[in-house]
Structure 1
Amino acid sequence: MFWRKKQAVEPNVSETTVDAETAGTPPITQKPFLQAIWPVLACGAGLFSDGYVNNVIGSVNTTLKYEYGDVYKNSNAYSVVPAIAFAGTVVGQLVFGYTSDKWSRKDSLLVSTVILIVFTALAAGSYWHGEAHGLFSMLTAWRFFVGVGIGGEYPAGSVSCAESTGELKGGTRNRWFILFTNSMIDWGFVIGAFVPYVVAAAAHNTNYGTIWRTSLGIGTVFPLILFILRLRLKEPEEFQRNSMKHVKTPYSLVLRFYGYRLFVVSLIWFIYDFSAYAFGIFSSPILASIYGEGAPLTTVFGWNTVINLFYIPGTMLGAPVSDRLGPRLTLVIGVLCQAIIGFIMAGCYPQLAQPNVVGAFAVVYGIFLAFGEFGPGNNIGLLAAKTCATGVRGQYYGIAAAVGKIGAFVGVYVFPYIEAAGGTGAGFYQYPFYVSSSLCILAAALAWFCLPNIDQDTITLEDERFRKYLTSKGWDVRQLGLNKGESLDSMPAETGVQKA
């Protein structure tokens, strides 16, 4: 029973499996590997910037506290600067989710990349007439717009990445999507922890302004390289066939068909980001609390890098498992294991939170993070990308990802309050692990009981299911894939026939 396949129930739609070869839609042409893989890389790898820019701000926050002391720690910026990019990301995900469906996947991606480059550079150069609070305000403002650029990477980049994997060999499509989306975020997290360590070492733990500005500024390099690669991109073949960019989207039908599924995916993403980003950003302060306020930055940043390295085995080992077991089951296994480690972490925290056993602390903390990537980190974006039809995939994915980032914003914002609820003793950092582990169990239940299985051809089959549903409601599916200037008069008369 544990290995059973569970189909989601949709209104007025047959649950019989559809063969892509006979579903009325010509199969995606399989290309040579190198030709097929580079669009997957170019579309998805921009999420490296999400991981880097969001994780590096934890080290920047620590450095600003060292530089300005109580002036920064007692200001609103201390809690707002790490979290404000998430607010911008939500805006970007919603806006670019719409434009990626109704305008262009490629052009939406290019615009978001430009925004990311420009405002990351401005954040690194934040200044206001030598006045500290003015600098904090400028950094906050630029970080918001950095978030908008990051937000565009999700619906435009990840959706295009998922659609492009259809041109790869069956049995490997999930892993390639993961390796060029979530794995990129995780590598960004690692590099976002490592760069401040290198810069702090080069600056001999002094020149704090140089440390945080350089760490932020390096975040412009990768998207700049990626922007050049993306200039050669074309619209994914699935999008060309099934888009609704030149027709009125039947939103009432879309909500009836996908509303419940979107709610479940969004809630799981909220739960995952609530914990993942808060623990990622606050790992430096947690380590600083173990060593004390006077610890050298290189010591704090060095152990922070070690902890973040555990993201990599989690995501890299989990990628092929998602092909083998399917994303839903892999997600459930990951969050349940994470819950177990989290409860162990909470129970043993007083013994682990000692400078003489910081290595053991880093290992256990790292395993906790690794299971988060093995399960929901790898698979929630995959589920969001493949549980919806192509015509509305950008908006569906954008909404789910936006809810996830709201979870990240809430998690980062309330993390200090959860800590404070534990008092000043060991409970100060125990409580966040108790809360996170409990939420992991909820996420596992939602995924197992409320989401369908995802296989290698789900995108093609999901398009066909949606087409059948629209047809049953009287919506002419010949409108799918219409180009600008075309009309139904030029299409075959048979409803359900899609142009090649």
Structure 2
Amino acid sequence: MPLTSHRTVEDDELANQEVANPNLQPPAQPRAGGYKLGSVGTIFASGSAMFSDGYSNASIGPVNTILAIVLGDAFTKHDKAVLSAMAFAGMVAGQLSFGYVSDKIGRKIAMFICTAIIFVFSILSSASSGSPQTIVKCLIAFRFLLGVGLGGEYPAGSVTAAEATENNDIKKGRQQRLFIWATNMMLDFAFGIAWFVALVLLWIFGMNHLRVVWRGTLALGAIPPLILLVARLFMEEPQAYKKNSMKHAPIPYLLLIKRYWLKLLAITWFIYDWITYPFGMYSSTITDMAAPNSTLYETLGWGCLINAFYIPGSMLGSFVSDWIGPKYAMITGLLLQAIFGFAMSGAYNQLTNNGSIAGFAVMYGIFLACGELGPGNNLGLLASKVVGPTAARGQLYGVAAAVGKIGAFIGNYTFPYMITSFGNRSEYLGNTGIIWVGSALAIFSAIITFFFIPNIGPDYMVREDEEFREYLAAHGYDVSQIGEAGYKAHDEIPYDPELGHTRSDGSDEKHHEN
């Protein structure tokens, strides 16, 4: 019986076009199960939860300022320190616990749970009621639980965003900036927006309705996670996770520690979070010291302006990270931050003459912007890509991020006491002491980064996963267990030599920078 050909005219035309142009790819077919986000959409849907992180942590700054007015003596300095720091304690718990969920159950499920937690406890925080002491206790409890959801987004959402940047349809010269735009820039936008929201609510409701202002500032933090819940319905697990996960295989922790222990010990994230979060959250306290007679409107306005400086620093730094690599971009930002910090402290009296703090606010904003250009952009990027292989990246990244949030917790808890301690020595040190300390720590971080953090290029995680497989095989581990059931390499987006993408087998042909 003769074989029957089922080729159509369209098939013949496509074959002729492929002969004429071997680089031509067949038209994309819709994926089973309906519409799904592409790689860029996945990066932003995964990483943009950092907006909730930034908003929730920055909003407590103006809220603390307002609560001090509303609650009076019932809101003590100790309450202020605990309330500011409590979200970071919850974040440590979330980072450590959801790292395991992200690796062993799935990135998408972990992100859904975290987003739901953020939504619920943002609402409950704004609804805290009762006596002044009860309000403070409720806020502390809800802030801790909110922090659990925020912390879980690091090993779930940020890791997914990092893995999606190395999908085959992302240009090599854009991998780092896309991750930064979806994560740290979202966080930075949130820092400025949190203060602006508080200022707008104050404009609307005035000084006689401050309870509406602080409750509204916290309640509006529930909107971003609600939007993300919808976007994440259309996500798929990253290709790297499908190919390299150990969902159904034992994770060899001893081999992991043996290979990656030094990267986990790097303390730059601890130092950076110790500096950055307190400086952002206490910007109202710092401007109050520079201009002690400011009205609440002026205090919130200066806080909004200062936090807005994060954004241009992060935007410029996102390109620098692709141009010279994340390691050297981080060192550059740290050194610039130290220079501006020392200059701002040394010229403090001149910058705040006659109660005018415009010069001080600009210098302080540049100080924060340099921090974003360097470690703000690149610490999360390096930790998510360098700290370990895809199979255990959620857990290892969660540990690294938890170390950073311990630094943020300590910084936020100790900042008020440091300000008081410096002030007991002299008025000048009371106003500049923490800036001297932050600038010195920036130099120390640059030294640690230079000696202990590797620089990375495009497709670093792809190569690391292949090397990790070889490492496991050399130590007798059955690597055939790795990967999700049913996953095949040809499920990945085909290689495009014009974009310089990596083939699904991990080999490279071209390495275009853009």
Equivalent-residue separation in structure 2 for 1:226 and 1:279 (angstroms): 28
CA distance in structure 2 between the aligned counterparts of 1:198 and 1:288, rounded to whole angstroms: 20
- Give 1:45's match in structure 2, choosing from 33, 45, 48: 48
Q: 1:290 to 1:206 in 2, by over 3 A?
A: farther
SS of 1:231's equivalent?
Answer: helix
Aligned with 2:126 (options 124, 127, 131): 124
SS in 1 for 2:129: coil
For residues 67-106 of structure 1, the aligned pairs below 5 Å read 67-74=70-77, 76-106=78-108
User: Taking structure 1 as reference, are residues 171 and 206 closer, same or farther at Cα in structure 2, changes over 3 Å only?
Assistant: same
8 Å CA contact retained: 2:45, 2:232: yes
Q: Distance in 2 between matches of 1:207 and 1:85?
A: 26
1:281-430 correspondence runs (5 A): 281-292=281-292, 295-354=294-353, 356-387=355-386, 388-424=388-424, 425-430=427-432
Q: Secondary structure at the match of 1:295?
A: coil
Shift of residue 429, structure 1, vs aligned partner: 2.6
Which residue does the alignment assign to 1:23? none
Report how far residue 355 of structure 1 moved. Answer: 5.8
Residue 166 of structure 1 aligns to a residue whose secondary structure is coil
Partner of 1:272: 272
Q: Secondary structure at the match of 2:435?
A: helix
Instruction: Call closer, same or farther: CA 1:300–1:372 in 2, change over 3 Å.
Output: same
Question: 2:210 pairs with 208, 220, 227, which one?
Answer: 208
For 2:354 and 2:406, the matched residues in 1 are separated by 34
Moved over 6 A (4+): none
Shift of 1:417: 2.0
Q: Which of the residues 472, 478, 481 maps onto 1:479?
A: 481
- Structure 2 counterpart of 1:232: 234
Unaligned ranges ≥5, structure 1: 1-28, 485-497
Deviation at 1:354, TM superposition (A): 4.6
Distance 2:287 2:204 in 1: 21
- Per-residue Cα deviation, 1:57-110 (whole angstroms, up to 9, x for no partner): 010000000112222135x32211111000001101111111100111000000
Q: Once the two structures are superposed, what CA deviation does each residue of 1:432-462 show, in whole Å capped at 9, x if it has no partner?
A: 1111111111111111111212001101011
Of 279-288 and 170-179, more deviation after overlay is shown by: 279-288
Question: 1:205–1:298: 8 Å Cα contact kept in structure 2?
Answer: no
Quote the residue 1:462 is aligned against: 464
Structure 2 residue 146 is matched with structure 1 residue 164? no
Cα distance in 1 for residues equivalent to 2:449 and 2:410: 22
Choose 270-279 or 459-468, whichever is displaced more.
Answer: 459-468
Cα distance, 1:272 vs. partner?
A: 0.5
- Secondary structure, counterpart of 1:246 in structure 2: coil
Question: Following TM superposition, by how much is the alpha carbon of 1:244 offset from its aligned partner in structure 2, in angstroms?
Answer: 1.0
1:177 to 167, 176, 179: 179
Letter in 2 for 1:451: I
CA distance in 2: counterparts of 1:138 and 1:112, whole angstroms: 20
1:420 Cα shift? 2.0
SS of equivalent to 1:216: helix
TM-score by length of 2: 0.85
Give the deviation of 1:39 after TM superposition: 0.6
Q: Aligned with 1:423: secondary structure?
A: helix
Q: Residues 421 and 431 of structure 1 are in contact (CA less than 8 Å); yes or no, is this contact kept in structure 2?
A: no
Match of 1:16 in 2: none
Aligned counterpart, 2:14: none
Kindly provide the amino acid, as one letter, of the partner of residue 42 in structure 2: P
Distance across 2 between alignment mates of 1:458 and 1:157: 19
Contact 1:311 1:369 (8 Å CA) reproduced = yes
Partner of 1:108: 110
The residue type paired with residue 307 of structure 2 is N
Amino acid at match of 1:69: G
The residue that corresponds to 1:63 in the other structure is 66
Provide the C-alpha distance between the structure 2 equivalents of 1:357 and 1:160, rounded to a whole number of angstroms.
46
Which has the higher mean CA deviation after the structures are superposed, 99-108 or 424-433?
424-433
**In 1: Cα distance, 2:315 partner to 2:44 partner:** 15
TM-score (norm 1): 0.88
What secondary structure does 1:422 align onto? Answer: helix
Tell me the CA shift for residue 482 of structure 1.
4.3
1:120-142 deviation per Cα after TM superposition (whole angstroms, max 9, x unaligned): 100000012xx110111011100
CA distance, structure 1, for counterparts of residue 69 and residue 309 of structure 2: 27
Alpha-carbon contact 1:81-1:139 (below 8 Å) kept = yes
8 Å CA contact 2:312–2:369 kept in 1: the answer is yes
| Aligned partner of residue 343 in structure 1, secondary structure | helix
Q: Specify the SS of the correspondent of 1:207.
A: helix
- 1:223-254: CA deviations, max 9, x gaps? 10111101111111100100011111100000
Q: Which residue of 1 aligns with 2:38?
A: 35
Are 2:291 and 2:357, in contact at CA under 8 Å, matched by a contact in 1? no
State the Cα distance separating 1:423 from its structure 2 match. 2.2
1:295 positional shift:
3.3
Q: Is the Cα contact below 8 Å between 1:205 and 1:296 reproduced in 2? A: no
Q: Secondary structure at the match of 1:445?
A: helix
Shift of 1:51: 0.5
Alpha-carbon shift at residue 211 of structure 1 (Å) = 0.8
Q: State how far apart, in whole Å, the 2-side matches of 1:49 and 1:78 are.
A: 21
Write the distance in 2 (CA, Å) between the matches of 1:475 and 1:439.
42
CA distance in 2, matches of 1:125, 1:408: 26
What does residue 219 of structure 1 align with?
A: 221
Q: Which amino acid aligns with 1:41?
A: F
**Residue in 1 that maps onto 2:139:** 139
How far is the alpha carbon of 1:474 from its aligned partner? 1.3
Q: Distance in 1 between matches of 2:308 and 2:300?
A: 12
Q: Which 10-residue stretch deviates more, 56-65 or 440-449?
A: 440-449
CA distance 1:355–1:302, change in 2 (3 Å): farther
In 2 relative to 1, CA 354–405 (structure 1 residues): closer, same or farther, beyond 3 Å? farther
Q: Is the 8 A contact 1:336 1:441 kept in 2?
A: yes
Runs of 5+ unmatched residues, structure 2: 1-25, 30-36, 487-504, 507-514
Q: Give 1:297 deviation, angstroms.
A: 1.5
The letter for the 2-side match of 1:248 is P
Give me the whole-angstrom Cα distance separating, in 2, the residues matched to 1:141 and 1:204: 28
Inter-partner Cα distance in structure 2 for 1:224 and 1:348: 45
> How big is each residue's C-alpha offset from its partner over 1:366-416, in whole Å with a ceiling of 9 and x where there is no partner?
000000000000000110111121001101111111110000000011111
Q: Which moved more, 1:436-445 or 1:52-61?
A: 436-445
8 Å CA contact retained: 1:200, 1:206: no
